[in-house]
Structure 1
Amino acid sequence: MSVNDELTSVQRCLDDLYRSVGRLEQQMGAGGLEIRRVRTDAEHLRESVALLRATAATTGTDRRVELVTISDTPYDSSLWTDSDDEGLGARGRHAP
């Protein structure tokens, strides 16, 4: 599933949530602090998804990642002559 499809699915779920909160608000009354917090949180989620959708549109997240092939041939050992073995200490010295 692409990013756009996922965002559309999330948007539909949030729209359902927003409608449900509206019905709940009618049943419980709009004056309560708890229902106002739920409505505000639902609105924030809708705004956040809108921002995600805008970001996904500008970054082109649906494009494919280019793979890089790594050769199986061994590296030239002369590349490593001036380095110590990491984690093993300096050459010619022994661990205590």
Structure 2
Amino acid sequence: MSLHDELTAAERTLDELARAVERLERRLGDGLDVRRVRTDTDHLGDSLRLLRAGAGTAHTTRTDGDRVVPVPDAPYDSALWSDADDEGLGAKDRHAP
């Protein structure tokens, strides 16, 4: 099964879960526990959409002008900032107001 198929299956399963939570809410009312489960289900949906977007299988298409620019996890060289002041904090040898 491809990644796209796996994500689609997860979305379908999540839709079924959302419907089941809706039915439970009708039977049990809008109590704290039901609201928590509904919120968790919504968060799972958000996470699944982020996962799909991060996996590069989003439903939207890119134009030729859009480029993905990788950002390294390694820290930047501090020498790049040797001539810059911390904006909003004042210069290194003076105190902030």
- TM-score with structure 2 setting the length: 0.57
Q: Answer 1 or 2: which has greater helix percent.
A: 1
Aligned residues: CA RMSD = 1.0
Gaps of 5+ in 1: 59-96
User: Which residue does the alignment assign to 2:26?
Assistant: 26
1:1-96 map, 5 Å: 1-30=1-30, 32-57=31-56
Secondary structure of 2:55 counterpart: helix
Deviation at 1:56, TM superposition (A): 1.1
Relative contact order higher in (CA < 8 Å, ≥ 6 apart): 1
**Aligned AA for 2:39?**
T
- How many pairs align? 57
List structure 1 segments (4+ residues) > 3 angstroms apart after TM superposition. none
TM-score, scaled to structure 1: 0.57
Q: Which residue identity does 1:27 align to in structure 2? A: R
Q: Percent identity over the alignment?
A: 58
Please list every run of 5 or more consecutive structure 2 residues that lacks an aligned counterpart in the other structure: 58-97
SS at match of 1:57: coil
